[in-house]
Structure 1
Amino acid sequence: MSAQIIEREGKPEYAVVPYNEYLELLALAEDAQDAADASAAMKELAIGEDETVPGDIAERLITGKEHPVKIWREYRGLTHKASTRRVPVPNQAMSIISSKTDYAADAFSLCVCPCSCAG
């Protein structure tokens, strides 16, 4: 690596490297961060702080055609009644919430968080 060191008051202040070397360093740093992120994710999975989600569930969540509460409830094998035990919402209200498609401002959609619905 060839770097030009620029000093200020006799102390190194900047290191100037050729652009192609900068790109290589950037790629190495990104790879290191990716490896650290993957390691952290695997640790979270191993100790139960996170979970994987089957592809069909992820696809249903991404398409937005169904309410996330409904998708998570079905994935976890919960009935409407069991869902309302986890969130203080009447069973009838949970049915209405689960059938809605416009849920952007739906505060109850917070209960779809895997952490709060884990069972």
Structure 2
Amino acid sequence: MTAIMTKSPAGEDIVILSRPEYDALVAASEDAADARAAGAVLSRIEAGTEALIADEDMDAYLAAATPLAFWRKKRGLTQAALASATGVGQGFLSEIESGKKTGDVATLKKIANALGLRIDDIVAENE
């Protein structure tokens, strides 16, 4: 790497790099950030706090009205059983599951906890 060390007009140290060297540093930084993010996901998987969807379940996940609908069925629960476990009314749970209502954070947390998931796992990305 050929870097030129100099000073700015204000006296700050600056480094001048060629474009390929700069691009390589940016790519290395992005790779390191990706590796940290992957490591964090792997840690959550090992700890059992990250929900995974098997290949054979992906079609059902994509076909479900909401992630909540998929996960409830995947966990083998009826709406009545999940409503009972969370204290959320079955009608309201049905509306959340169908995407007609979003539910507040406290309600979603109860539902996610009952399913052994994080709130992010049961909320559609576009909500």
TM-score w.r.t. the length of structure 2 is 0.67
CA distance in 1, matches of 2:12, 2:59: 52
For structure 1, the residue ranges without an aligned partner over 5 or more in a row are none
CA distance in 1, matches of 2:73, 2:109: 13
CA distance in 2, matches of 1:69, 1:42: 23
- The residue correspondences of 1:24-103 to structure 2 (distance < 5 A) are 24-55=24-55, 57-58=57-58, 60-61=60-61, 66-98=65-97, 100=98, 102-103=99-100
Superposition deviation, residue 114 in structure 1: 4.9
1:20-54 CA-partner distances (Å, limit 9, x unpaired): 11001111111122122212211111112212122
CA distance in 2, matches of 1:95, 1:50: 25
Superposition deviation, residue 76 in structure 1: 1.1
TM-score w.r.t. the length of structure 1 is 0.70
CA distance in 1, matches of 2:92, 2:111: 18
Superposition deviation, residue 17 in structure 1: 0.4
Alpha carbons 1:5, 1:16 under 8 Å: kept: yes
Please report the RMSD computed on the Cα atoms of aligned residues, expressed in angstroms.
3.3
Equivalent position amino acid for 2:20 in 1: N
Q: Establish whether residue 106 from structure 1 lines up as the match of residue 105 from structure 2.
A: no
Please name the residue that 1:117 is paired with: 115
Q: Percent of pairs identical after alignment?
A: 23
CA distance in 1, matches of 2:18, 2:57: 47
Equivalent position amino acid for 2:103 in 1: A
For structure 2, the residue ranges without an aligned partner over 5 or more in a row are 118-127
